[in-house]
Structure 1
Amino acid sequence: MNIVVIAALIQAVIALGVAIFQIALVAGAPLGEYTMGGQHPGKLPGQFRVTATVSAIIMVAQSGHYLAQAGILNPALSPGQNAIVNWFWFGFAVLGLIVNSISRSKKERNTWVPVLLVSAICTLLVALN
């Protein structure tokens, strides 16, 4: 197994973990301090649960994409399309890293900055190859 496959697998697991976190928020888990700037300690209000639902769907799709990049699932995209999507996900990870780095919530920063740093590295390794 080469470094790109390992990076793709790590990213697939990260994306699935984030999706599970978002699903927990949708279900009413009192984790509001760990997301969206920590504006809503405890359970998220309804409109933020909708956002968490959309995020969960996006992260499941991302996980599937990286499982395809690792050769576990059949790719749904052409090699050229995969390259574009790989760079998109890298930009998504970097943007998430920046946004979470400046969050007013210390819990959010301490939880997600390390995760997103690993995510940015993994998505970059896949995008470069």
Structure 2
Amino acid sequence: MLDAFSAWFLVFAFISTALFHVAIVLGAPLGEYSYGGQAAGKLSLRLRATSIFSVIVMLGLAGHCLAQVGVFQPLFDGQFNQIGNWAMVAFCALAAIMNNITKSMKERRLWGPVTLAMLAASLVVAI
């Protein structure tokens, strides 16, 4: 039951993060909350383009979690699926580290706790 709750939490978190990046792509003034807080307001076209990649990754990870709870058919069976789970843990760990050491206080306050919760949930799903 905890693994299903964790997977659904991750679906929500990954989709929410994807929507955050869609807002960045569309020009929302979220610079202080992303990419190390490099720029206040609207981000450069280069960083906005990077957010397109982030949207794709986040939706892919949400899809992987939906497969874990049976909404989608998993792309891989058994051992390869487990490798995907541990890759998700590694991604969440990197995100947690980066968002908790950023110089941007606003980014750290917003994403620090979220990414730590995502890391914990991904560990539950993987184990």
How far, CA to CA, are the matches of 1:114 and 1:40 in structure 2? 22
- Partners of 1:5 and 1:58 lie apart in 2 by 21
Distance in 2 separating the partners of 1:12 and 1:80: 22
CA distance in 2, matches of 1:43, 1:79: 43
Secondary structure in 2 matching 1:90: helix
Distance 2:91 2:50 in 1: 16
- Which digits, 9 at most, give the CA deviation of each residue in 1:9-54, with x for residues without a partner? 1001100000000000000000010001100111110000111000
**Deviations 1:54-98 (CA, angstroms, capped at 9, x unpaired):** 001000000000011011111111121110010011011111111
| TM-score, normalization by structure 2 | 0.98
How many residue pairs match? The answer is 127
Which residue does 2:47 correspond to in 1?
48
Q: Which amino acid aligns with 2:70?
A: G
Q: C-alpha distance in 1, partners of 2:80/2:4?
A: 18
Instruction: Give the counterpart letter for 2:78 in structure 1.
Output: P
Matches of 2:98 and 2:22, distance apart in 1: 21
Superposition CA RMSD, Å:
0.7
* Unpaired stretches in structure 1, ≥5 consecutive residues: none
Task: Give ranges in structure 2 of 5+ residues lacking alignment.
Answer: none
CA distance in 2, matches of 1:54, 1:106: 24
Contact 1:19–1:56 at 8 Å: present in 2 too?
yes
